[in-house]
Amino acid sequence: MENISIFCADVGSIKAKKFGWAADTPDRNGIQLGTDIKLFAELISSAISDGCKVAIGFECPLFVPMRSDPILVNSARKGEGNRSWSAGAGTGALATGLVEVLWVLNKVASLQGQPPKAELSWVTFINSDSVFLWEAFVTSESKGTGHAEDAAIAIECFKSALPNMDDANAIEESSVLSLVGAAALRAGWSDNIVILSEPCLVIKA
C-alpha cells in the first residue's frame, strides 16, 4: 500500500523510560524511533491531517477472551503460546497499555479538534476514512535492544504482511472483550458498542 503511515508503541512506564515507539511514514526514509508519548501522538495527528491512511499498533494485549468453561477463563488466547495475556508480564502490559492507549487516543482527538473514527477490521479500514488499531505481539525471541526497537520490529512485521493482513493474524478468538474498543468508545473514536465484542488484528513477531 502507498500513502500508509504505520505507528507502533511498546507500552511501559513513562517515568522509568520504558515506553518506546516507532513510526513509518511516507515523508521519511526509514523508520523513526522515539520515547516521547506526546510526540508519538503529534506524529499520528500530523499523518491524519496529511490525508494518510493511518494504522496504530500497541505492544500489549488489546482484547481478552470470553470463555464459558471456568477452568479456561484465565488461559492464554489461541496463538499466544507461552506468553499468556494472564501471566505476570501480560497483565502488567495490559493494565499499563490500557491507560496509555486511552491517553494517545485522547491526545490525538484533542490535536485534531475531534476524534477520528477507529476501525478494527482491515477490510473496512481500507475502504473507509478511519484509523486502524492493531495489536503488536513481539516474542522474547524477536525482541530488540530497546522498547523503540521492539516497536520497529513490529512495524516491519506489519509491513511484510501487507496487503493480506487478515492472513497474518496471530490470535484466533471468536468471543472477546475488546479493551482497545473500550478505549475507543471512551475517547470518542467510536460510538458503536459492538466494538467491545470485536477482536483486533494481532501481528506477531
Residue 196 has pLDDT above 90, yes or no: yes
Cβ neighbours of 83 (radius 10 Å): 17
Helical packing angle, 37-49 and 88-112, nearest 10°: 50
Answer whether residue 169 shows pLDDT above 80.
yes
Q: Which pLDDT band holds residue 201 (cuts at 50, 70, 90)? A: very high
pLDDT (0 to 100) of residue 50: 96
Which secondary-structure segment (H or E) carries 97?
Answer: helix 88-112
3-state secondary structure 105-168: HHHHHHHHCCCCCEECCHHHHHCCCCEEEEEEECCCCCCCCCHHHHHHHHHHHHHHHCCCHHHH
pLDDT above 90: residue 76: yes
In Å, how far are 11, 57, 150, 158, 188 from 125, measured between CA atoms? 24, 14, 25, 15, 17
Residue given cell 500489549 in the structure block = 60
197/9 Cα distance (integer angstroms): 23
Per-residue pLDDT band at 144 (split at 50, 70, 90)? confident
pLDDT at position 28 over 90: no
Contact 8, 151 (CB under 8 A): yes
Cis peptide bond upstream of 116, omega within 30: no
Does 172 score more than 80 pLDDT?
yes
Closest CA to 21 of 127, 110, 120, 152: 152
CA count, 13 A, side-chain hemisphere, 104: 28
Using pLDDT thresholds of 50, 70 and 90, give the confidence band for residue 52: very high
For 180-194, letters b (16+ CB in 10 Å) and e give bbbbbbebebbeeee
